[in-house]
Amino acid sequence: MSSPLDGITVLDLASVGPAARTSRWLADFGARVIKVGPTPKQSGVQIVPPFYAYGGHRGMERILLDLKADAGRAAFLKLAETADVVIESFRPGVVDRLGIGFDAVAAVNPGVVYCSTSGYGQTGPKSQWAGHDINYLAVSGYLDCSGRNAEGGPALPGATVADSAAGGMHAVMSILAALVARNASGQGQHLDVAVADGAVALMSLYVDEYLATGTVPGPGHNILTGRYACYDVYRCADDRWVAVGAIEPHFYANLCKLIGCEQWLAHQLDDDVQDQVRADFAAAFATRTMDEWVDELGPANTCVSPVATVPELVEDDHFRDRDVIITAHRPGHDAFEQVGFVLAGMDHGQHAPVVRDGTLTDTDDLLAAVGYDADAIATLRSEGAVA
């Protein structure tokens, strides 16, 4: 069976961050992804990720172009003529100054889906601000609604939620929607993917609550942010933790009965006694180890799970059974493992991708495919326009 994005070609100008996650997922859905990097003399402008990052760019091709040189810019536009998607993550305005922005690409390819990813968007007072994951979570209200650290400040998240979901997945969804629209109209479009906007979308449940009711969200303001004992984490006898998410009354009832706290069956959402409920839950969980509790409660409809470490999750028999972790091969090095083709619709049968040496390129083949002969390619190399 073919992959969902067979026949779709993506030019990716990003090296790290949300845009690199975007092209990773598009490739895992079957798109042909061509990474466009700078030539060695320009390489200081991009961060080089470690060999294992973003799936090691498995299944991708690579070309190096000097986009500040006329010949390098012309080569990029030649590649863009037959591309379906272009992804870039420069500061707003940079691609236009380079002559490779949406208007320039659309002039040679009206059907192109051109995705610009940035922290705060292509327009607006903050469009030129620099930022990273923590900044986008901060401005969106995410951090303020998170738990607190020992000093009373917002706790740092354990994953790059903004880069991954508010940026990378945001861009993937927008690109796929634009491709569907192009199938009907034949026209491409310019997508302004702002990570901060995506983070606000992730916060919409709380933002909409405030706008509709005036309730100010924050730690402990409702059931999902720790207001009630039925949705919290608890320390076990071995100093490990379990997560409890017993929101539905029948799950809560099962939990109370199995941990010996039946006295609180009728008080799940009783604000007056939550400190006592939480104290009794904590005392109960402290009597046994995490594994003991999870073995009993996990399959018993209580919404209890272990707080797993990364070393534990990669060995988890459930994830192993679902091929979440796969083996990759790196020529000249030992095989290593990485997160596999995990999202629904990807080809989960791919078990042994090859991660190439990051210094290798496909420059000659890619240029030849769009009409450059050997002499022209040699000239471009001698000029430093490609590598």
Catalytic residues, which ones? Answer: 132, 163
Residue 301 token pair: 């409809």
Tokens 């303001």, residue located? 221
Q: What is the CA radius of gyration of the chain?
A: 25
- The two beta strands, 241-245 and 32-38, are unpaired
Give the separation between CA 78 and CA 56, rounded to whole angstroms. 27
Distances (CA, A) of 128 to 125, 228, 328: 8, 41, 39
Instruction: Check residue 125 and report its DSSP letter.
Output: T
Give the separation between CA 264 and CA 369, rounded to whole angstroms. 70
Q: Which residues pair with 36 in a beta bridge?
A: 63
Residue 229 token pair: 């004992």
Instruction: Check residue 53 and report its DSSP letter.
Output: G
Let me know: does 29 contact 1? Beta carbons within 8 Å. Answer: no
